[in-house]
Amino acid sequence: MGDRIARLTALFFACVLVAIVILLVYELLWRSEPARAKFGWKFLTSSEWNPVNEDFGALPFLYGTVVTSVVAMLLSIPLGVGAAIFLAELAPPNVSNGLTFVIELLAAIPSVIYGLLAIFTLVPLMRQYIEPFLKETLGFLPFFQGPAAGVGYLTAGLVLAIMTVPFIISVSRESLLAVPREQREAALALGATRWETTWQIVVPYAKLGILGSIFLGLARALGETMAVTMVIGNVPAVHASLLWPGYTIAAVIANEFAEAGGKIYPSALVELGLVLFGLTIVINGVARMMIVATTKKGSGR
Amino acid sequence: MLARRKFVNAMMLTMTGVCTVITVAVLFLILGALIVNGASSLSWNFFTKLPVPIGETGGGMANAIVGSAQIVGIAALLGIPIGFIAGVYLAEYEDKKFAAVVRYIADLLNGVPSIIVGILGWALLVVPLHGNSALAGSIALSVMLIPIVTRQTEQFLREVPLSLREGALALGASKWKMIATVAVPAGSKGIMTGMILGVARIAGESAPLLFTAGLSQYWGSLTEPTASLPVMIYKLATGPYEEWHQQAWAAGLVLIGMVLTANILARLILARGVSVPRG
């Protein structure tokens, strides 16, 4: 008897989780209904954002979200995978564990604090030194033209890179550690250098896990709100240059949702939320499939 | 040829070290910047006084500190039991198919951007109550907390050796008695760690609170707009006044102090070993 009650209680609380997700999807669909009915698929391709005329389009935000995340990944993948290789393959276990703990602390820092630091330290640095330098040296490329305002896609991408690196490092390190020892010994015995062993044998073996960690970081970057809102510049426009101010989906919801009046305006913001939700679910799903596939294969150190 | 290979080897290995140094240095740069800029604005008033209008001196952030404690406290009261029992379900009562669904859902919920969780809190409580409230913020934060606690609880219960469970069952304990008196106590350190880390994580969240708990100059209450430290930092840092910026640094230092203390504490609990040797 007691057992049945305990079992049903546990089952009930597990169902609460399922109910939350169903509720979340339902609210997102229902609250975005007016905007979806009015704009249809055109919502995704229009770059109009005019609360006065109640004309809304998602393109500048989608563009900003994707561009900042891509910039972040371009910086954080080499940095993260490099550090993961060092921690898994080179550093002695004590040092590796200590440094991994420090890196995990980095992941625990609230995003508003990254934003705070970015506003007062990174933005002036970008405006005065880095962006003028980029314009001078790489200004012939379309990516590095326009104003050096300090805020914009590039700065937001840089902050996102710092925020996603810890995720990439900790998951990549795990999958590198899961590569069987024999693989390394065989390569070394054949005369490969340490680096050749790592790059040609160990990394390919852990490939899926590393890719998974990258997708996990990407999902984080796409949905990151506060830090980006504070440095993106908040201008709903599409620019090829990374130096221009822009906007992201999460940032526009954070900035405008509380003040959005009428029926269509909040509904359009919820629809943006729905788009972001769909995007992160897909990326996260891909990441998990990859990570599960590697950890099953590995046998651990 | 060999010289070239050796050179590549040395160079690339050094580069990986450089990557690590850069990443670790970022943490110390962040802490350093917060201490340098924030410490000077920390005073007794900061912890005990309400905010004052711009131009006056001596204001503090007592309402935001208490507000954060209130919002996070209620979120923990709601989220920890639900997450914990759901985790027990996943680890102990595995009905293969449904458990897989719940596990998938928990991971999905973990990956939902925090701003979207804010929309859920808004739809569930702000719209019906016609206004921001601490309770709406707590609901939003508990939605973030539940999947974290669920997965941590499950993970650490799974590390409890089967032999312990079998011992209890062989002595005639019923299954729930075995779970309550053997499995959960054996995994308690890890489970506690998961809870502390989860609460520390939601304590630093501002995105879900922007339009649920909102912001207030005064003391909040369950059904009224309530200030919290992270939202205050956002508002002060993006505002135009130098005094606000100073306050934001101080609040940032307090927030990071709390979050890092919780993380290190959790690590210390876990470092003293799993309660039972792994079987």
- Give the pLDDT confidence score for residue A298 in this predicted structure: 45
| Both structure tokens of A131 | 């962006």
- Rounded CA-CA distance A102/B102 in Å is 32
Q: Give the pLDDT of residue A299.
A: 40
Nearest one of A164, A166, A182, A162 to A174, comparing CA atoms: A166
Choosing among B22, B34, B41, B112, which should be mutated to test the A contact, i.e. which has the most A CBs within 10 A? B112
What pLDDT, on the 0 to 100 scale, is given for residue A294? 66
Give the model's pLDDT for residue B149.
95
The CA distance from B224 to A198, in Å, is: 57
**Gap between the Cα atoms of A173 and A187, Å rounded:** 20
Predicted confidence at residue A301, as pLDDT, reads 35
Strands (E), chain B: none
Residue identified by tokens 């590995």 is A298
Which of B255, B131, B271 lies closest to B205 in space, CA to CA?
A: B255
Amino acid letter, A233: G
Please calculate the CA angle A165-B267-B36 and round it to the nearest 5 degrees. Answer: 60
* Predicted pLDDT of residue B16: 93
Give me the mean pLDDT over the A246-256 stretch: 93
ipTM above 0.85, yes or no: yes
- pLDDT higher than threshold 80 for residue B275: no
Integer Cα distance of B145 and B140 in angstroms? 9
> Once rounded to an integer, what is the mean pLDDT over residues A135-156?
84
Rounded mean pLDDT, A266-272? 93
Confidence (pLDDT) at B94: 72
Among chain A residues, the shortest Cα distance to B229 is held by: A112
- Residue from the list A10, A21, A83 with its beta carbon closest to the beta carbon of B88: A10
Stretch B158-185: mean pLDDT: 90
The residue extents of the domains of chain A are 32-297
* pLDDT reported for residue B273: 53
Residue B12 pLDDT exceeds 60: yes
Percent of chain B with pLDDT over 90: 51
Q: Averaged over A19-46, what is the pLDDT?
A: 92
The letter for the amino acid at A207 is K
> For B256, what's the count of Cα atoms within 13 Å in the CB-facing half-sphere?
28
Q: Would you say A36 and B120 are in contact if contact means Cβ atoms under 8 Å apart? A: no
The C-alpha atoms of residue A165 and residue B181 are separated, in whole angstroms, by: 41
Across the interface, do B238 and A86 touch by the CB < 8 Å criterion? no
- Rounded Cα gap, residues A82 and B95, in angstroms: 41
Instruction: Find the closest chain A residue to B142 by CA distance.
Output: A20
Q: Is the dihedral of CA B220, B226, B228, B234 positive or negative?
A: negative
Cβ neighbours of B276 (radius 10 Å): 16
Average pLDDT over residues A125-141: 84
Percentage of chain B exceeding pLDDT 70: 96
Lowest mean pLDDT across A10-14, A226-230, B150-154, B273-277: B273-277
- Give the integer Cα–Cα distance in Å for A29 and A274: 7
**Domain spans in chain B, listed from the N-terminal domain onward:** 58-212+220-271
Are A79 and B19 an interchain contact pair (Cβ–Cβ within 8 Å)?
yes
A256 CA to centre of own chain: 22
Inter-axis angle of helices B242-271 and B2-38, nearest 10:
120
| H/E run at residue B202 | helix B188-203
* Chain A residues in contact with B98 (beta carbon < 8 A): 14
Instruction: Please check the confidence at residue B98 and state whether its pLDDT lies above 70.
Output: yes
Distance CA B46, CA A105 (A): 26
DSSP state of A197: I
Of B19, B116, B147, the CB nearest to A86: B19
Q: Ramachandran region of residue B130, left (φ > 0), alpha (ψ -120 to 50) or beta?
A: left
Residues 6 or more apart in contact with residue B230 via CB below 8 angstroms: A110, A112, A226, B68, B203, B204, B205, B206, B209, B255
Which pTM value belongs to this model? Answer: 0.90
pLDDT(A300) > 50 = no
3-class secondary-structure state, position A244: coil
Buried b (16+ CB within 10 A) or exposed e, B146-161: bbbbbbbbbbbbeebe
B102–A18 C-beta distance less than 8 A: yes
Residue of A116, A176, A228 to mutate when probing chain B, most B C-beta within 10 A: A116
The reported pLDDT for the residue numbered B71 is 94
For the record, the structure tokens of A269 come out as 């913001």
A182-232 pLDDT tens trace: 999 999 999 999 999 999 999 999 988 899 999 999 999 999 999 999 999
- Mean confidence (pLDDT) of chain B: 88
Helix, strand, or coil (residue B121): helix
Token representation of residue B218: 């005064």
A253 — pLDDT class (breaks 50, 70, 90): very high
Q: Would you say residue B195 has pLDDT above 90?
A: yes
Q: Nearest CB to A86: which of B9, B20, B120?
A: B20
Residue of B nearest to A108 (CA): B201
Distance separating alpha carbons of residues A154 and A159, to the nearest angstrom: 9
Give the integer Cα–Cα distance in Å for B262 and B245.
26
SS3 for B134-148 is: HHHHHHHHHHHHHHH
pLDDT at A115: 94
Q: What confidence tens digit (pLDDT) does each residue in B23-41 have?
A: 999 999 999 999 998 888 8
CA A185 to chain CA centroid, Å, is 36
Pick the CATH number of A32-297 from 3.90.950.10, 3.40.50.2000, 3.40.430.10, 1.10.3720.10: 1.10.3720.10
* Apex B198 CA angle, A168 and B92, nearest 5: 95
Which structure tokens are listed for B204?
Answer: 């630093």
Contact between residue B59 and residue B50 where contact means Cβ atoms under 8 Å apart: yes
The closest of B176, B169, B81 to A1, measured between CA atoms, is B176
A155-159, B95-99, B239-243, B275-279: range with lowest mean pLDDT: B275-279
Task: Please report which residue ranges of chain A form alpha helices under DSSP H.
Answer: 2-31, 33-39, 42-45, 59-85, 93-108, 111-117, 123-125, 131-138, 153-177, 181-189, 194-196, 203-205, 207-223, 226-231, 249-256, 264-297
Q: Which of B11, B14, B15, B23 is best to mutate for the A interface (most A CBs within 10 A)?
A: B23
Residues 6+ apart with CB under 8 A from B81: A13
CA dihedral A138, A60, A245, A216 (to 10 degrees): -80
Residue A130: pLDDT band (50, 70, 90) is confident
In this predicted structure, the answer to whether residue B206 has a pLDDT above a threshold of 70 is yes
Q: How many CB atoms lie within 10 A of CB A41?
A: 8
- Cα A195 to chain center, whole Å? 29
DSSP 8-class letter at A87: I
Taking the CA atoms of residue B214, residue B219, residue B224 and residue B227 in that order, the dihedral angle to the nearest 10 degrees is: 10
Please report the pLDDT score of residue B272 as a whole number. Answer: 65
CATH topology of domain B58-212+220-271: MetI-like fold (1.10.3720)
Say how many CB pairs under 8 Å bridge A and B. Answer: 250
Cβ-defined contact of B115 to A273 (cutoff 8 Å): yes
